[in-house]
Amino acid sequence: MPGQPPTQNPLDPQLGLILQLLKDIPIIDTAPTDPPKFPIGFAFYQNGATKRLYCFFNGAWSYVNLT
């Protein structure tokens, strides 16, 4: 309702940071090599028929194939 303060998400206090990370996931055509701005990062990779989701954590990029 108007005039009421916004409520915080009771499930996860870090939800805002997680949504910010997921909001601007780039689509790339070469495997990522540089570390992201945050300790955790994501990127979608597509090159022809190959589709991957790259995740950066523990100091390295890892991926899963997408179908």
pTM, two decimals, is 0.66
Percent of the chain past pLDDT 70, that is, above it, reads 82
In a domain, 10, yes or no: no
Q: Within a domain: residue 2?
A: no
| 58-61: Cβ within 8 A, 24+ apart | 59/35, 61/31, 61/32, 61/33
pLDDT digits (tens, 9 = 90+) for 27-38: 999 999 998 887
Band (1; pLDDT cuts 50, 70, 90): low
Per the domain annotation, does 11 fall within a domain?
Answer: no
Strands 41-47 and 50-57: antiparallel
In a domain, 58, yes or no: yes
17 domain residue, yes or no:
no
